[in-house]
Amino acid sequence: MSKKKRWLSGPYVLWMVIFTVVPLGVVAYFALTDNITGAFTLQKRANVGSYLPIFLRSVGLSLVSAVICLLIGYPVAYCIARTKPSTQRLLYLLVMLPMCMSFLLRTLAWVALLEDTGILNTFLGKLGIGPLPLIRNYAAVILGMAYNYLPYMIMPLYSVIVKIDHRLVEAAQDLGCNSVQVFSRVILPLSLPGIVSGVTMVFVPAVSTFYISQKLGSTGTILIGDVVESQFKGAYNPNLGAALSLVLMALVFVCVGLMNRFTDDDGEEIVTI
Amino acid sequence: MRRANRIFTAAVFVFLYVPMFVLILSSFNAGRDLAVFEGFTLIQYAELFRDEDLLRLLLNSAIVAVLSSLIATALGTMAAIGIHNMRGKLRSLVMTMTNIPMTNPDIVTGVSLALLFTFIGGLLKTRNVMGFVTLLIAHVTFNLPYVILSVLPKLRQMDSDLEEAALDLGCTPVQAFFKVVIHEIMPGIISGGLMAFTMSLDDFVISYFVYGPRFVTLPVEIYTFTKKPLHPKVYALFTVMFLAILLVMVLMNVLQARDDRRRKAGRSH
Amino acid sequence: MPHELIRLTNLTQVFDGETVLDSINLYINNQEFLTLLGPSGCGKTTTLRIIGGFQTPTSGDVLFDGKRINDLPPHKRKINTVFQKYALFPHLDVYDNIAFGLRIAKLRETEVDERVTEMLGVVSLKGFENRKVNSLSGGQQQRVAIARALVNRPKVLLLDEPLGALDLRLRKDMQNELKRIRQAMGITFVYVTHDQEEALSMSDTVVVMDNGRIQQIGTPEDIYNEPKNAFVADFIGESNILDGIMHEDYVVEFCGRKFQCLDKGFGPKEPVDVVLRPEDVDIVPLGQGQLSGTVTDITFKGVHYDIIVDLKGFKWLIQTTDHSPVGSQVGISLEPDAIHVMHKSEYSGQFGDYSSYSAEFDELADNVEEDADE
């Protein structure tokens, strides 16, 4: 270990201070000042409270989609981890690939699938059913979130499950566990770190999304991301936008902090390609 | 039980890929509506390669992705070596800073950088502060943690005696890095750089807040496209990119398989 | 002609407030085979790393040929190291690993080739030039590591537990190999190990360390026959350590009896530690020895028996070729030269009735340390 080498981090630390830490300070500054006079104010921010229902809706929808991702993702990750290594690599790649493709266009494809005159309803129409209201509702928004962020769930789950030593399973069987007990007493506790990081990786982008809800939802499903976006790109009020961002950030950090209490992970590992 | 799980897994893959096949299929559709297939055509591809604006956007995205991932890889690798030599409070402080852009929602990162740039623009008395530079800075910022978090484990796995052995045999610290250490951590550098590149190429949320009208990237433009009906040549572009990324991934897969085999051969003795 | 090559004066190393080396004074002659011996955490590896230049001492000096080299970086020292787990460069083959240092020194490629080829002969690895290093066996990797260091013709070779990863037989072979190589090359070896047998059989000089301090420096015979304190007596070989009182020169009392011994120079009535090596104690028919006791345990060890004898509650370990059944009463006879008297030290009374240092336990302790490092 060399103390001199620490200085190699210098440029990086400087960069991160200027472009990560300082900007958060700027957000806080904007959040606490008036958009016209520039004076410090808390009064103008009192209306942040009126966005509570939208916050709650965002958290609710993204939690539901995170749980759905977990329920769908776990068996898939488990299945991939139990195939032979060459198949594992191929399947892992197939999970990764959608993440590299434009998520805007993929979400748009769901619009085409779910619309009243879309592919599914056309198909159902030929069977004499429908048209069903598949879009512009909560379910469609949850579907969009779950679809978009499912790979973020499968990847960390897979990398944890694949590392579980199969001898542990055999040891559990040897000690009298049936297959359900093997799962609940050995495999599930050991995959907890993957569950935590998967849920976090789905929840964070989902709670702050502003595109999925615009395309698949309606005016009744506006999320907090939409409100923030409109403060910067539509009704220009960066101070309110900054205040809402600050609340959003605090919310995410509290949730991530709570999740991380389940594991003693040092957070220095990530899923790599 | 296992069989049921396999069927379920297959179904999930169908779920993941159906929307993409809809888009790919649409690129060959003679009609404009995604929902109705009106006949096979390649005309969208011809249109795509004639559309200089669209190709320009793609080039812009590629420029930002290449530059930002290269800068992030160099800066991040250096930083990882520095962090690897830290202990205790200093290390956790720097790691916390690294985790901020990873944990923070993209929209908050985008908004905070936008406000910083506006603020600096105000100080410099320029109205159009947003442009190529701000976009590049933003991309480097969110790419850096990916590089660091994929190089750090490689440094940790490396036998630290290797570097000392190089010094012992007469290398200066710089020589020791380029002759020995870099070979050991190269897989981490490559995968971090590639991850940064793909993240950067596809980034929309952060770019959306810090781009300027003089320099627009493809995802940002697609967002503004999608507010009006989308031209089918965009689906052709999607298909081309799908194939390109598939190719890159298969290549990486082959390389990794070779690396694994080599490693296994090393261990078996 | 032996002359002093390396001198360490008042060397102290502190890590995070913990003193790892406490005022080490030591000189090493050229062509000497010197071994730093001690349990894990005793400071032997730290001492080696300071000589190699991988660590800067908190205080004290390192002199090389009379010049202070505290701040000289490793690549400027005429010292090379054989690392514990070899540290061969996995991206280079055997030849390129050995040629590494010569190429860094920018030697002409013809000379590089000459010296590498010569070195491959010395370590009996001709024909392995183009093999990948991780396709070699442990012993072969060890030879490459030695060749890679020696090809640079260092004045001193540092070896950090170089045989630790090898199995017992290979270790014995490599011990002989190392002795042979050193005689052929005629350079100074500084060797670190926790294996006392290895230290005794290979070295000219053994330095026993514990707790960051040197406990004793001497030839292998000195260290074994005249341990300076209970720690050295216990760490080197097996021993029975008893409380005694020195009455006058050549007379010591223990187990309620006075014995003739060969030690002198203690204060009147000074409390002392008495060391009895298990192989120096004789079992004789009851009534014939100075002491008597009951056999409580006997274990066949091949060359001899390990016999535990209970003497009024104290258990002695005795090694003898004669069988004595459990429960039998036996006499115990001690010759004056079987008795070693030592001053009391911080280690007195730590080692129970009889004791033998367990290498296995030491390795366990090593693992715990590595885990804590993660």
Contact A253 B103 (CB under 8 A): yes
The DSSP secondary structure of C305-349, one letter per residue, reads EEEEEEETTEEEEEEESS---TT-EEEEE--GGGEEEEE--TTTT
- Report the distance separating Cα C178 and Cα C200, nearest Å: 14
pLDDT digits (tens, 9 = 90+) for B52-65: 888 899 999 999 99
- Report the distance separating Cα A98 and Cα C69, nearest Å: 59
Name which of B25, B73, B108 to mutate to probe chain A: the one with the most chain A Cβ atoms within 10 A of its Cβ: B108
pLDDT at A271: 44
Task: Give the number of beta-carbon pairs within 8 Å between B and C.
Answer: 73
- Report the distance separating Cα A9 and Cα B148, nearest Å: 11
CATH of B51-231, one of 3.30.360.10, 1.10.3720.10, 3.40.50.300, 1.20.1090.10: 1.10.3720.10
Q: Are residues C148 and C246 in the same domain?
A: no
- Report the distance separating Cα C197 and Cα C231, nearest Å: 16
Contact B165 C136 (CB under 8 A): no
Handedness of CA B223, B225, B227, B233 (dihedral sign): negative
Closest CA in chain A for residue B188: A272
Q: Are residues C199 and C322 in the same domain?
A: no
Contact C84 B269 (CB under 8 A): no
Residue C355 burial (CB count, 10 A): 17
Confidence (pTM): 0.80
B33 touches chain C (CB under 8 A): no
Closest CA in chain C for residue B162: C87
Contact B223 A79 (CB under 8 A): no
pLDDT at A272: 41
Q: What angle do CA A219, A59, A240 make, to 5 degrees?
A: 65
Distance from CA of B181 to the nearest CA of C (A): 9
Structure-token pair, residue B11: 């179904």
C212, C22 Cβ separation under 8 angstroms: yes
Q: Are residues C297 and C371 in the same domain?
A: no
Q: Are residues C261 and C355 in the same domain?
A: yes
CATH at C51: 3.40.50.300
Phi, psi dihedrals of residue C311, rounded to the nearest 5°: -110, 95
A10 touches chain B (CB under 8 A): yes
Domain ranges of chain B: 51-231
Give the residue numbers in C contacting B (CB under 8 Å), as ranges: 52-54, 73-75, 79-81, 83-85, 87-91, 100-101, 104-105, 132, 134-137, 148-149, 152
Please tell me whether residue B55 adopts helix, strand or coil conformation.
Answer: helix
Distance from CA of A165 to the nearest CA of B (A): 18
Contact B169 C73 (CB under 8 A): no
Question: Of the candidates C73, C91, C104, which has its C-beta nearest B183's C-beta?
Answer: C91
Residue B269 burial (CB count, 10 A): 12
Q: Are residues C161 and C19 in the same domain?
A: yes
Q: Are residues C271 and C157 in the same domain?
A: no
Q: Are residues C296 and C340 in the same domain?
A: no
Question: Of the candidates A30, A95, A119, which has its C-beta nearest B22's C-beta?
Answer: A119
CATH at C291: 2.40.50.140
* Residues whose CB is less than 8 angstroms from the CB of residue C309 and which lie 6 or more positions away in sequence, other chains included: C283, C293, C294, C295, C296, C315, C316, C318, C330, C332
Domain extent at residue C316: 282-333
Residue C230 within any structural domain of the chain: no
Q: Could you say which residues of chain B have pLDDT below 70?
A: 1, 34-35, 226-229, 262-269
Domain stops at, among C333, C350, C365: C333
Q: Which of B206, B95, B212, B94 is nearest to A245 (CA)?
A: B206
Chain B hits for A27, CB-CB cut-off 8 Å, are 108, 111-112, 115
Q: Are residues C345 and C260 in the same domain?
A: yes
Question: Of the candidates C80, C104, C135, which has its C-beta nearest B175's C-beta?
Answer: C104
Domains of chain A: 51-260 (1.10.3720.10)
Burial of residue C14 (number of CB atoms within 10 Å: 0-12, 13-18, 19+): middle
Structure-token pair, residue C129: 């030039």
Distance from CA of B183 to the nearest CA of C (A): 7
Question: Of the candidates C75, C87, C149, which has its C-beta nearest B159's C-beta?
Answer: C87
Q: How distant, in Å, are the alpha carbons of A133, C70, C288, C310 from that of C328?
A: 97, 62, 15, 11
Q: Is the pLDDT of residue A23 over 90?
A: yes
β C213-218/C205-210 pair status: antiparallel
Chain C hits for B177, CB-CB cut-off 8 Å, are none
Structural domain count of chain C = 3
Task: Please report the ipTM that was assigned to this predicted complex.
Answer: 0.87
The upper half-sphere exposure of residue B82, i.e. CA atoms within 13 Å in the direction of its Cβ, equals: 19
A60, A52 Cβ separation under 8 angstroms: no
Distance from CA of B211 to the nearest CA of A (A): 12
Contact A89 B2 (CB under 8 A): no
Question: Of the candidates C53, C75, C85, which has its C-beta nearest B159's C-beta?
Answer: C85
Q: What angle do CA C289, C295, C296 make, to 5 degrees?
A: 155
B172 touches chain C (CB under 8 A): yes
Contact C134 B267 (CB under 8 A): yes
Question: Of the candidates B164, B169, B265, which has its C-beta nearest C54's C-beta?
Answer: B164
> pLDDT in tens for each of the 374 residues of chain C?
678 899 999 999 998 888 999 999 999 998 899 999 999 888 999 999 999 988 899 999 999 988 999 988 888 888 999 988 888 998 899 999 999 999 998 999 999 999 999 999 888 888 999 998 888 988 899 889 999 999 998 989 999 988 877 788 888 888 888 888 888 888 899 999 998 888 998 899 999 999 999 999 999 999 988 888 888 988 888 888 888 888 888 889 888 888 888 888 888 888 888 888 888 998 988 888 888 889 998 988 888 899 999 887 788 899 988 888 898 999 998 888 889 998 888 887 776 556 544 444 444 444 444 443 33
- Report the distance separating Cα A27 and Cα A107, nearest Å: 30
Q: Are residues C63 and C121 in the same domain?
A: yes
- Report the distance separating Cα C132 and Cα C112, nearest Å: 19
